[in-house]
A = this chain, B = another copy of it.
């Protein structure tokens, strides 16, 4: 039974303590991530909190409010630009941003959630990460709102998420190449368990389909959004007997890898190969030639994430929000009409 107000919340705290056969202060220690409780007792209390759907009442706004951000690959071009945008949004509200990196599996390191509970942030934002149902429940029982930006895995329906219009972006990128006369268009896709990658691939397929072109399996290559994938898959695509004349690299980092693949094979961009990236990170402008790419409004996404996580405490119905912000194609110098052969 969720607590609706302070008095009922306190009653439930007593109930949990009684049922766990511990003192109220022990339950309180578990709630606030403090030490001095055995693992066994902690687990018993967590289970009871979950059974009771216990929900701590919202604390007063603390003197030094914090927001906790968990980010996959903090120092990747994508991660660092999203983090910088969230930092800016938080700073404008005079909220400190605690930043933590995630594991290679996009999950938190051990102790992360305990440390978050001790910090008692006003909210938690995940960037390209996922969180177990147990961990989500632990946040919920402490009344700490959670928002996901570009979630990894399948996002839970009751966790609000912010993304961009990935299907649309994939469609725009591919359509642009078709309009330039390309018919053999390769794609390097992202992790299959990530909604954003699946949607981009689906947009690619739909654009081919709408032009009466078929999507050939040999032109569809997997990756994990790393430069090395772009290099390896780019090379594989360009060495096909009937090679593509254009590649939709579904991340800017892939695109740089494809650039290097082309360079190492003696091909020029856009003369021999057109390339479209995705995200429009600053590396897209620094590439030689500057990269045509799908602009993802990271600043707007970050602002929405911070805005949402701050409001969730008062408006829990927002938990079912799923916000996708529009993408636009930015044409630079890496795409050109197909050469007459």
Interface residues of A (CB under 8 A from B): 33-34, 63-64, 66, 68, 74-75, 77, 79-81, 83-84, 87-88, 91, 94, 96-101, 109, 111, 115, 118-120, 227, 253, 256-257, 259-260, 263, 282-283, 285-286, 288-290
Q: Are B74 and A83 in contact (CB under 8 A)?
A: yes
Bound Cα distance A253, B286 (Å): 9
On chain B, the residues within 8 Å of A109 by CB distance are 91
Select one of B34, B84, B111, B260 contacting A101, CB under 8 A: B84
A-B contact list, 21 entries, CB within 8 Å: A33-B64, A66-B96, A66-B98, A66-B119, A74-B87, A75-B81, A77-B77, A87-B99, A88-B101, A91-B109, A94-B111, A96-B98, A96-B100, A96-B119, A97-B99, A99-B99, A256-B286, A257-B286, A260-B290, A263-B288, A283-B283
Report copies per complex: 2
Q: Which 10 A-B pairs have the closest CB atoms?
A: A80-B80, A75-B84, A64-B118, A64-B119, A74-B84, A96-B98, A75-B80, A263-B288, A260-B288, A99-B99
On chain B, the residues within 8 Å of A63 by CB distance are 34, 118
On chain B, the residues within 8 Å of A257 by CB distance are 286
On chain B, the residues within 8 Å of A64 by CB distance are 33, 115, 118-120
User: Other than the known A75-B83, A91-B101, what 9 A-B pairs have Cβ atoms closer than 8 Å?
Assistant: A64-B119, A80-B80, A84-B101, A88-B101, A91-B100, A256-B286, A259-B288, A260-B288, A288-B288
Nearest chain B CB to A211 CB, angstrom units: 31
Q: Are B289 and A263 in contact (CB under 8 A)?
A: yes
On chain B, the residues within 8 Å of A83 by CB distance are 74-75, 80, 99
Bound Cα distance A64, B87 (Å): 20
Nearest chain B CB to A292 CB, angstrom units: 15
Q: Are A74 and B66 in contact (CB under 8 A)?
A: no
Nearest chain B residue, comparing its CB with the CB of A109 = B91
Nearest chain B residue, comparing its CB with the CB of A257 = B286
Bound Cα distance A259, B79 (Å): 25
Nearest chain B residue, comparing its CB with the CB of A256 = B286
Select one of B74, B94, B100, B111 contacting A80, CB under 8 A: B74
Q: Which of A74, A94, A263, A286 has the most CB of B within 10 A?
A: A286
